Amino acid sequence: MSEVVIENKEYKRYYLFEYFFGQNMLISIIRLFGSPLMILMAIWIMLSEGWFLTVFAIIMVVYAIYFALIPWIYIYRNSANFTTTTIDVELDRDKISIVENGETKQYELLSFARIIKRKNYIIFRFKTKNEFYLPVDKLSKEELEIIERNLI
């Protein structure tokens, strides 16, 4: 059993990395470069003549700024989900037990939609799209071997 302390900053860093790079390549490119490209297009449209085009360009800039700030707005609105947490994790061959605040939850490893291993953390994604993260550096070698055998 490993006691895992996941800091507030770690949760936010994991979420932001998954938001920008955890999807397929096309979505990652759109999320990284979509807002700057929209702002450049809006500036180009503003330089052309016409009242309607100027209004359209201003709307584009506002939307581009919103699009760029979406992950940070999500973190701000759901700050209760990004708090420092101490959990006890116990991994068996086919299940994971998590003890948090005296409450024990057990999950079959096959019940997850996906288990994804990144460089610094492991994502356990449920079929309902909920997910939780475990830092790799805070798990024992035996636990990491069990997870690697069950990657989905």
Residue pLDDT, tens place only, 11-56: 999 999 999 998 899 999 999 999 999 999 999 998 887 888 889 9
Residue 32, pLDDT score: 93
Mean local confidence (pLDDT), 125-138: 88
Q: Which long-range contacts (CB under 8 A, 24 or more apart) does 106-110 make?
A: 109/150, 110/150, 110/152
Residue 1, pLDDT score: 66
Q: How far, in Å, CA of 85 to CA of 75, rounded?
A: 16
Residue 21, pLDDT score: 92
Considering only CA atoms, give the Rg of the chain.
Answer: 21
Residue 74, pLDDT score: 94
Residue 62's pLDDT band, with cuts at 50, 70 and 90, is very high
Q: How far, in Å, CA of 10 to CA of 3, rounded?
A: 16
Place of tokens 């707005």: 73
Residue 142, pLDDT score: 87
φ, ψ of residue 123 to 5 degrees: the values are -105, 130
> Would you call 3 helix, strand, or coil by DSSP?
strand
Residue pLDDT, tens place only, 69-128: 999 999 999 998 888 888 888 888 888 888 988 889 999 888 889 999 999 999 999 888
Write the secondary structure of 78-143 as one string of H (helix), E (strand) and C (coil): CHHHHCCEEEEEEECCCEEEEEECCEEEEEEHHHCCEEEECCCEEEEECCCCCEEEEEHHHCCHHH
Mean local confidence (pLDDT), 55-62: 92
pTM score? 0.81
Mean local confidence (pLDDT), 51-62: 90
Between β-strands 85-91 and 95-100, what pairing exists: parallel, antiparallel or unpaired? antiparallel
Phi/psi class of residue 12: alpha, beta or left (left: φ > 0; alpha: ψ in -120 to 50)? alpha
